[in-house]
Amino acid sequence: MSEGMLAGYSLEKKPSLATIAKVAWLTSGHDKDERIEVYRKTLARADLSWATGDSSTGIVQSHYLRVKAHNPDIKAANFAISGNESEDLQAQVDRFLAAEVESDTIFDYVMLMIGANDLASSDSEGITPALKYLGNIEAGIRRVLDKDPHRRLLVVGLPDVHTVFEESANLVVYRMWGKDIKCESMRRDVYGNKTIFYPENKEAYEFTRAIVAQYREGLANLIERLQGEYLDAEFKFIREYRKPTNMRKALSIDCFHPSEWGQAELAEITWERGFWPNISDVQFLAWTD
């Protein structure tokens, strides 16, 4: 989500069959790493990201654009990789730290949201256990703060994916040969037999709900503990947040990623609950001590 995957499309305006075929084709015939790379090069829209999007013509008022309006010299970089799980966070941190060295700068404001792909497994055993998920995130945050503790970290929990998937199940993505192709089948066709897409498998599905709850509770405790250790850092944790106000506008054509409208809503929600909800009252004079 943070890389703006498929943000250039939405359900509100029916995609062409060629676009649908392209999305489906890109999910087949490749191993995981190759698929992610092809997906990113073809369909990611980092300029529409809720976090660091820089499109001046779109509706996404990203965190970067909001800060830039008050500090024109601010710089931003996006190290998110679509399809990554929490275990892949270390590679993102590697790029983050290398970029600081290469550019001789420090990223004072860091945003982190990861975990939806940790749930994307065809069985319960493949879902990342909460302790491992939290350990992956803690290791990444510690590396960032050990390099320089004078940072602000906004950690965003997972959206209410269960409600989003359930309430969007019957939304029509496109019509072919007189048959409506709906979000429920679209998610399964594109991303495969993932437990989180099958509420009829009640035991396994409820297990994913329990895991999300553990992720959220664990993150809250982790952030509180880290704040006690890294006294020079500032943390904000958004545990959970409301579902989109309009599913058709907010979902992209894969019924999984947010559209541009969805990215705009995510930017608004996370900004309101972040460090500077009333940015006009803030003087951005110094970002580091």
Give pLDDT tens digits for 14-69.
Answer: 777 777 777 766 666 556 666 667 777 778 899 999 999 999 877 999 999 999 99
Instruction: Name the token pair of 193.
Output: 């037999």
pLDDT above 90 for 189: no
For the chain, the average pLDDT equals 89
Q: Which CA distances in Å does 55 have to 116, 186, 261, 264?
A: 25, 29, 13, 12
Confidence category of residue 289, pLDDT binned at 50, 70, 90: very low
Q: What are 87-121's pLDDT values in tens digits?
A: 999 999 999 999 999 999 999 999 999 999 999 89
| Residue 89, number of CB atoms within 10 A of its CB | 25
Instruction: Name the token pair of 47.
Output: 């300029």
Domains of the chain, earliest start first: 17-277 (3.40.50)
Return d(Cα 229, Cα 225) in angstroms, integer.
7
4: Cβ–Cβ under 8 A, 6 or more apart, which residues? 44, 45, 46, 47, 48, 49, 53, 263
pTM of the model: 0.90
In this prediction, residue 286 carries a pLDDT of 44
More confident residue, 211 or 19: 211
pLDDT above 90 for 136: yes
Q: What are 166-184's pLDDT values in tens digits?
A: 999 999 988 877 788 899 9
Please check whether residue 184 is in contact with residue 103, taking contact to mean a CB–CB distance below 8 angstroms.
no
Q: What are 154-165's pLDDT values in tens digits?
A: 999 998 899 999
Alpha carbon of residue 50 to chain centroid: 9
Instruction: Name the token pair of 68.
Output: 């830039």
